[in-house]
Amino acid sequence: MVEGRRRELVRQAFFLEYVTLAWMVIEAAVAIGAGLAARSITLLAFGIDSVIELTSATVLIWRLSVELQHGQSFGESAERVARRIGAALLFALAAYVVAAAGWSLLTRQGASFSWPGLLISIAAIPVMWILSRRKLRIADALGSRALRTDAVESITCGWLSIVVVIGLLVQLTLAAWWVDSVTSLAIVWLLVKEGREALKGDDCSE
Tell me: pLDDT of 206 over 50: no
The CATH number that applies at residue 23 is: 1.20.1510
pLDDT in tens, 163-201: 999 999 999 999 898 999 999 998 998 899 888 887 876
Q: Which pLDDT score, from 0 to 100, does residue 138 have?
A: 93
How does 68-107 read in b/e, with b if 16+ C-beta sit within 10 Å? eeeebeebbeebbebbeebbebbbebbebbeebbeebbee
Mean pLDDT on 9-33: 94
Written as one string, the DSSP assignment of 62-83 is HHHHHHHHH-TTTTHHHHHHHH
The pTM (predicted TM-score) of the whole model is 0.86
- Nearest Cα residue to 184 out of 89, 87, 100: 100
Q: CA 47, CA 204: separation in Å to the nearest integer?
A: 28
From the number of C-beta atoms within 10 Å of its C-beta (0-12, 13-18, 19+), residue 173 rates as: exposed
Q: State which amino acid sits at residue 38.
A: A
Comparing 49-53, 76-80, 139-143, the range with the smallest average pLDDT is 76-80
Label residue 26 exposed, middle or buried (CB < 10 Å: 0-12, 13-18, 19+): middle
What is the predicted pLDDT for the residue at 75? Answer: 56
**In terms of residue numbers, what domain contains 91?**
3-204
Q: Which range among 6-15, 22-31, 178-187 has the greatest average pLDDT?
A: 22-31
Domain count, the chain: 1
